[in-house]
Structure 1
C-alpha cells in the first residue's frame, strides 16, 4: 500500500512536523485546567465552551479559541504553552516518534499515520500516545497552578458581571487596536492643548519671544 504525502507536509530539514502534538494533547490539558479552576456556578457554561473548542483542536488542529484566549487574558500563559509544546515535540522526536503530525486526528494522525502504518510502527505510535498523555497531565497541573497562583481571569473566573467566553483572533486584534487608539487620542489632546496655548499667547507675541532667545540656545521657541 503506497502512502503519498505532499512535500509541503515536511519541514525545511526534511523531517515531518510534530507541532500538532500540542494541539491534540496540550490543548486537552489546558481545557481541563480551565474547567477545574472555573467557579462552581460557571462550570456548566465553561464546559459548553471548552468541549467544542477542544474537540476542534483535537480533530482538525484548529486551536484559535483557546490560544487567543491566552493572548487576550494572560500572554504569559501563551509563552508557557509555547515552551511546553516545543518540549513535547522534542521529547517525542528523541524517542523516535516521526511522521506528519502537524494537524489533528482526522486530517493527519489517522489517515496519514496510524491507519496505514500502525501495523509496522505500532511501538512508535504507542510511545507517542504515552508521551502525549504524560504531557496532557503536565499541561493540566502547570496551567492549573499558574491560573490559581496569579488569579488569571480565564473563562469562568471573570468578574461577576463579566461575560464568560473564549476569545478569538478578532477580539485580540480589537484589543490591540484600542491601545493604539488611546495613544492617538493622547497625542491629539496634546496637539489641542498646544493649539490653545498658541491662541492664548498670540502668534505675534510668540514671534517676539523667539527673537529674544540667544542664537546659541539649544531650544529656541519657534512657530511650527
Structure 2
C-alpha cells in the first residue's frame, strides 16, 4: 500500500509547495506595489514648485508644479467618459506662462454637451502635476479625427508638435480663474492596477484544493488496498 501511495503523495506535496510559493510571491508583490503607490500619492500631493528648466520624464513625472499665465483659445479634445458625469472630453490647451514658455495644460473634463462652448483665453493660476501619459497602443488606438477635433490618446510628443509647444504636459489639480464648465481631472493612482491580493488568494485557494484532491486520492488508494 505504501508503495502505491508514495508517488501521489510526492506529486501532491510538490504541487502544493509550488502553489504556496506563487501565493507568497504575490503577497510580496502586493507589499511592493502598495509601497510604490504610497510614494506616488505622497509625491503627487507634495508642495508645488516652478516648472523645471529642462524637464525629463524619468526624473519629473508626477512632479507637483504651480504656473501662472494665459490659456490660449481652443485646444485638443480627447474622447473619454467620467464616472458620475457621463461622456465627454479631456481638454488640452496651449498655456503660455508668465515668463513666456509655451507648454500644454490638461485642463480637465468637459461634458459632451459643452463641446462647442467658447473656451477663450484667460489668465489663470494652475496647480497640477507634470505627466507623460502612457495611453497610446499602436494596434488599437485610432488616429485622431482632426476635422472634428476628436483625439483618442494623450501623447506628449505628437500633441506638442501639433500645438507648437514644449513637449511638457501639466495636468491641472486646481485652476484659479478657469472655465467652470471644465472640471479638473488630476493625476492619481486609481488607474494603476493592483490585483496582487486577488492573485494571492487564487494561488492559496488552489493550494488548498490541490491538498484536498491529494488527500482524497490517498484515501481511495488506501480503501482499495484494505
TM-score normalised per structure 1: 0.28
Task: Specify which structure has the higher proportion of helix.
Answer: 1
Task: Specify which structure has the higher proportion of strand.
Answer: 2
